[in-house]
Amino acid sequence: MTRNITIEDLYRMQFIDRPRISPDGKQVAYVVTRIDDKKHAYRSSIWISPTEGGEARRFTQETELTSAPTWSPDGRWLAFVAKRESSDQPSTTEKKEQKKPGKDKPQIWVMPTDGGEARQLTFMEHGASSPAWSPDGKHLLFSAQVGPADEETEDGKALPKVHVIDQLWYRLDGVGFIYERRAHLFLIPREGGEPQQLTDGDWNDGDAAWSPDGKQITFTSDRNEERWRIPGADIYVLALQDNKVVGEPRVLTDGSMGCASPSWSADGQQIAFIASKKVGSAGHAYLYTIGASAEKGEPKNLTPEFEGTALDFTNSDLGDEHLMPQPAWSADGKTLYVLSSHRGASRIYAISTTNGAGKEPPTVTPGNVHVRDFSLDHSKQIFAMNVADATHPQEIFVRSAKTNGELRKITGFNDALLNELQLATPEHFTYEGADGWPMDGWILKPHNFDPSKKYPLVLEIHGGPQTQYGYGFFHEMQLLVAEGYVVLYTNPRGSCGYGFEFAHAVRGAWGEKDPIDIMNGVAEVVQRGYIDTQRMGVTGGSYGGFMTNWLISHNNRFKVAITDRCVSNMATMFGVSDIGWDLGYDNLDTTPWEDLEKYMNMSPIKYVQNIRTPLLIIHSDQDLRCNIEQGEQLFAALKYMGREVRLVRFEGQSHGLSRGGHPRSRQERLRHIQSWFAKYLQ
């Protein structure tokens, strides 16, 4: 006997990520995160499973944060990042004189894969991340921030900080202030010791990867003069001799793109990477290759005709990251495997390095799946990947690189829970949006659905707008189905996965044709006859919050609405969002002081007097992407006019509350959504 999913089931789900296959292809290391229901806290650890099937074993202890498992080339060691008490820290009596820096920060640890104690390798002031083994296994490359200490103290007491800001991009949602520190690359022997800093300067370096011979490192860095206004990293190569830097880094790209995830070919002659336009990218990322010896050479775009964008942009509420794993080279160098989002799915595609992708490249992960991350063994024969779909949270799968290989599931952390639950499978449909453009939509129907009855409808609108709905798992949507609602979600213009022009179509045009695309989807479902048009609700977050505000200020079709981490005023977004100023160069082609009318015409707050739909506003007070003042403006205006409105403010949470915030806050958010819709639609 199965049952409906509940809010409390969030605490029973386990979140699986970072699959890293061993060099010999026989084991996969990955991170398992669960929620401690007594402390309302996330706990994570590294597990290992055999690729041929068998029992999974927990490799590390559970901590507040454990991530980035990385196999040594010989498979004898596993490096990882963890925030945990060091076994190497001095005794209590020695701590005052000998305390090592970086306590309570994520650091890099190493541990023998056949068992033994983990040993802390780094003691960086602000923590360390992204470990990468040298080809000979004797050193680890890693990334760490340099800059002033977290706090100033006097007589053991913290003093209030004074922030002196002279850069436009000085904070980041989910992180906080970033202007004082820079991320750089370091090298440390496997046995430990003093790390050697490889890069320096008033910029950030990252995404580092070793050349096959261990004599060079490729990495990304944004050293352009306008980096704090129009960010976009280039591809660099740094030469090493006897693990010492030789000369200055060479830049391979010309500063016109934002580059990421560089990856060496087996012969060391080529570097594959992912990049998008620096201005007007519409979130669309392409796969490129470039000669490793090039001096600002011409990169080769392998995916100019492919609609897919080269990263995981499929939405889900089981994780707060859109990953862009390194493209993986085949053994013969003729194929690159890249994770791309396409028409509701995220899959691994096989791209010819000679002929490119064309319009429909082959995929090694067919079907309606959501692949979040992947890795290949040393022989390039076996994939390990993190796969989910609309009715299954992510688990670890493996697959042979051969064309007839099948996906094989090797973990089942969520199987017991899923066996209890009755979940809705999405029904895909197509319809016409504005200008006759083809659109994708999905419907989730209540259990024991009867087409002769009338059901309340909840329309969900995704954020971005350059992301996509499709086959990601949504606890929130399944909850709404369990409450008896038909749930509708669509990919209007502006969504990714349909090519650059489709995603670019909303540049400077939010609220013009995209609401028509969405409402035409509603009309398509209504005409099927099973929707009670007097009981329709709408909700969305971020850009979806903007669109929720826009729809209810331009029509009265919905009986109730919930706007989450929303945009209400484009003009104030320019200054209060962590990246709001990009509206001036990457969206509206002007600034508020040059053309305030353009900004306000695209702002739902201008039309607030038209809103008569009961509105719940959900916002986090540490949301730096869509600052809480966006929700507060809307609340104040509606309350002043005596309209039905409620503001739920989440303390200490960021923009990603719904998919990675404090567990208790995530539950409370869902309770408010549940009760607000029930009040008006049940």
Per-residue confidence (pLDDT) for residue 75, from 0 to 100: 97
Task: Tell me which residue has tokens 């509701």.
Answer: 344
Where is pLDDT greater, at 405 or 472? Answer: 472
Say if residues 240 and 214 touch (Cβ distance below 8 Å): yes
Where residue 93 falls among pLDDT bands split at 50, 70, 90?
very low
- Whether 424-681 and 121-148+171-301 are alike in CATH topology: the answer is no
* Long-range contacts, stretch 362-370, CB < 8 angstroms, 24+ apart: 362/403, 364/337, 364/399, 364/401, 364/405, 365/399, 365/407, 368/344, 368/428, 368/470, 368/471, 369/345, 369/471, 370/312, 370/314, 370/316, 370/345, 370/346, 370/394, 370/470, 370/471, 370/472, 370/473
Rounded mean pLDDT, 8-18:
98
- Does residue 89 have a pLDDT over 70? no
Rounded mean pLDDT, 291-295:
86
Q: Could you read off the pLDDT of 493-547 as tens digits, one per residue?
A: 999 999 999 999 999 999 999 999 999 999 999 999 999 999 999 999 999 999 9
Per-residue confidence (pLDDT) for residue 99, from 0 to 100: 55
Report how far residue 605's alpha carbon sits from residue 633's, in angstroms, rounded to the nearest whole number: 8
Task: Tell me which residue has tokens 């949006």.
Answer: 433
Average model confidence (pLDDT) across the chain: 95
Per-residue confidence (pLDDT) for residue 88, from 0 to 100: 47
* Tokens of residue 75, six digits: 């498979």
Per-residue confidence (pLDDT) for residue 86, from 0 to 100: 56
* Tokens of residue 619, six digits: 């916002």
Per-residue confidence (pLDDT) for residue 158, from 0 to 100: 84
Full DSSP string of 560-616: EEEEES----HHHHHHHSTTTTHHHHHTSSS-TTT-HHHHHHT-GGGGGGG--S-EE
Q: Any idea which residues carry the catalytic annotation? A: 542, 655
Tell me the CATH class for 424-681: alpha beta
Per-residue confidence (pLDDT) for residue 97, from 0 to 100: 41
| Lowest mean pLDDT, pick from 166-170, 313-317, 419-423, 662-666 | 166-170
- Does residue 313 have a pLDDT over 70? yes
Per-residue confidence (pLDDT) for residue 91, from 0 to 100: 42
- Does residue 92 have a pLDDT over 50? no
Rounded mean pLDDT, 216-235:
95
pTM of the model: 0.96
CATH of the structural domain 121-148+171-301, one choice from 2.40.10.10, 3.60.15.10, 2.120.10.30, 1.20.140.10? 2.120.10.30
| Lowest mean pLDDT, pick from 23-37, 175-189, 289-303 | 289-303
**Beta strand spans in 134-256 (E):** 139-146, 152-154, 157-159, 171-172, 176-177, 182-189, 196-197, 205-210, 216-221, 234-241, 244-251
Per-residue confidence (pLDDT) for residue 403, from 0 to 100: 62
Give domain limits for the chain.
1-66+311-423, 121-148+171-301, 424-681
Residues making up the chain, counted from first to last: 682
DSSP tally for the chain: helices H, then strands E: 12, 39
Taking alpha carbons only, the member of 579, 609, 456 closest to residue 171 is 579
Per-residue confidence (pLDDT) for residue 155, from 0 to 100: 81
- Does residue 404 have a pLDDT over 70? no
Rounded mean pLDDT, 234-239:
97
Per-residue confidence (pLDDT) for residue 115, from 0 to 100: 83
Report how far residue 407's alpha carbon sits from residue 363's, in angstroms, rounded to the nearest whole number: 12
Query: Residue 74: phi, psi to the nearest 5?
Result: -90, 0
| Lowest mean pLDDT, pick from 227-231, 416-420, 576-580, 667-671 | 227-231
Q: Could you read off the pLDDT of 100-133 as tens digits, one per residue?
A: 777 889 999 999 999 889 999 999 999 999 999 9
C-alpha pair distances (Å), 311 with each of 60, 283, 299, 466, 491 = 29, 10, 19, 12, 17
